[in-house]
Structure formats: structure tokens, C-alpha cells
Amino acid sequence: MLLNKAQQQLLLALAKESITHGLKYGQTLQINSHDYATELQTIRATFVSLAINDQLRGCIGVLEAIRPLVVDISENAFAAAFNDPRFPPLTMMELPQLAIQLSILSATEAIQFTSEADLISQLRPNIDGLILQEGQYHSTFLPSVWKSLPEPENFLQHLKQKAGLPSHYWSDSLQVSRYQCQLIA
């Protein structure tokens, strides 16, 4: 389900409002999903990415749809601004420079493959986000990561490293799923 322009703008405004509320009160903006249109109440998985001067400033999300879209956006915006362990909490001085990007995920689909070469041949640059799982190791890259890692082999190697595995690791028990995103910026 693709959202229209007005719904997209509403979600961007909600993400910013959640971050602003966090700066003022130190907690997530509490919202009632029933106050929003039915399309915005659907249970969806999202990521919220924050950048300042085209540099990542925070990115938090969930891969599994567990709460209404508007709630997920509000929660993930707050978490990206204040709880991403890679960055210090956002400050009020940074807010005017902040660029917000929302990724609304489709359902995931397992990829069936017989070898690493087979998997690489099935990857769709600039379309798919990937989830890699190997026992306790797991990681994901949103489709937007293809911009910085455009070669499928390189994309997969970095995804393994993000999971804590060596870049050339391979196992027949490796699991990979794909998803797509509607990007809102």
C-alpha cells in the first residue's frame, strides 16, 4: 500500500514532532493511532533515518510489523534521535539542520539460493533491502544503502560484516530475506 503525498507529509511532520517533543520532555510523543486515517493505522514496520549535512545522524527501526504505522514512526523517530548507540543524543541546536527520511517496509520474503554466487545473482540493487541471519548473527541494510555499496557482492560482504561475520563467510545455513521500502523524505 503506497501512501499519498498528504499522508507522507503528515508522517514526516509526526516524526519531527516526536523528536521535538523528545528534546523538550525527554520522552516519546504519545499518540493515539485512532486519531489518524485508516491507512496510517495499519500495522507496518518502519525505519527512521536522520542526517545532518548528508551524514548519518541516527537510524532506528524494526523489521517486523508490530504496531500501527503512526506509532511506529513516532517511536522510531524518537529512538533514532536519542537512542542510536552510534551517536550521542540529538541536541536542540542540531534540529534545524536535521533531514528526516522514513522507510516503510513491505513484508519480507525469504530468498532461496544454492550458493553465494546464486544469492548474488538474485540481488536487486536499489530495490531490495536485505536481512541476513546466521544463528545469533543478524543484520539488515535498507535499499538506500545500495547508493554507497552499488555492487551486489560488496553489498553482501558489508552486510555480513555488519552482522559480525567475516566478509567472505559462507555457510549452507545462512538465511537471507528481502523487502522493499516506500521512501519518504
> DSSP states of 110-148 as a string?
EPP-SSHHHHHHH--TTT-EEEEEETTEEEEE-GGGGGT
Q: What is the pLDDT of residue 9?
A: 97
Instruction: Give the CATH number for residue 151.
Output: 3.30.1490.150
Whether pLDDT at 2 is above 90: no
Confidence grade of residue 71 (pLDDT, cut at 50, 70, 90): very high
Same domain for 63 and 20 = yes
Specify whether 134 is located in the same domain as 172. yes
**141 in Cβ contact with 158 (< 8 Å):** yes
Structural domain boundaries, residue 33? 5-105
Judge whether residue 177 has pLDDT over 80.
Answer: yes
CB 44 within 8 A of CB 72: yes
Long-range pairs for 149-152: beta carbons < 8 A, 24 or more residues apart: 150/125, 150/126, 152/120, 152/123, 152/125
**Do 75 and 127 reside in the same domain of the chain?**
no
Q: What is the mean pLDDT of residues 115-136?
A: 96
Q: Is 9 in the same domain as 98?
A: yes
- Domain termination site, one of 70, 105, 140: 105
| pLDDT tens readout for residues 33-70 | 999 999 999 999 999 999 999 999 999 999 999 999 99
What is the arithmetic mean of pLDDT over 126-145? 96
Neighbour order of strands in the sheet with 181-184: 55-61, 46-52, 98-105, 181-184
How many CB atoms are located within 10 Å of the residue 63 CB?
A: 16
For residues 59 and 101, state if they share a domain.
Answer: yes
Q: Tell me what the pLDDT averaged over the chain comes to.
A: 96
Q: Which residues of 160-170 are buried (b: 16+ CB within 10 A; e: fewer)?
A: beebebeeebe
Specify the number of domains making up the chain. Answer: 2
**pLDDT per position as a tens digit, 82-107:** 999 999 999 999 999 999 999 999 99
Q: Do 144 and 163 share a domain, yes or no?
A: yes
- Predicted local distance difference test score (pLDDT) of residue 11: 98
75 and 117 share a domain?
A: no
Task: List the strands of the sheet with 175-179, edge to edge.
Answer: 109-110, 175-179, 129-134, 137-141
143 falls within a domain: yes
Report strand pairing: 109-110 vs 55-61.
unpaired
DSSP 68: B
Query: Looking at residue 120, what is its pLDDT?
Result: 97
Q: Using the 3D structure, point to which of 51, 82, 105 is the last residue of a domain.
A: 105
Of 56, 85, 105, the residue that ends a domain is 105
One domain for residues 123 and 96: no
- Check whether residue 97 and residue 149 sit in a common domain: no
Task: Please answer whether residues 102 and 183 qualify as being in contact, where contact means their C-beta atoms are separated by less than 8 angstroms.
Answer: yes
Query: Quick one: 90 and 30 in the same domain?
Result: yes
| Positive or negative: CA dihedral 79, 83, 85, 88 | positive
CATH at residue 69: 3.30.700.20
From CA 148, how far away is CA 178, in angstroms rounded? 18
The answer on 101 and 113 residing in a single domain is no
185 located within any domain: no
Q: What is the value of pTM for the model shown?
A: 0.90
pLDDT at residue 141, as a whole number: 95
Mean predicted confidence (pLDDT) in 63-80: 96
Check pLDDT > 80 for residue 1.
Answer: no
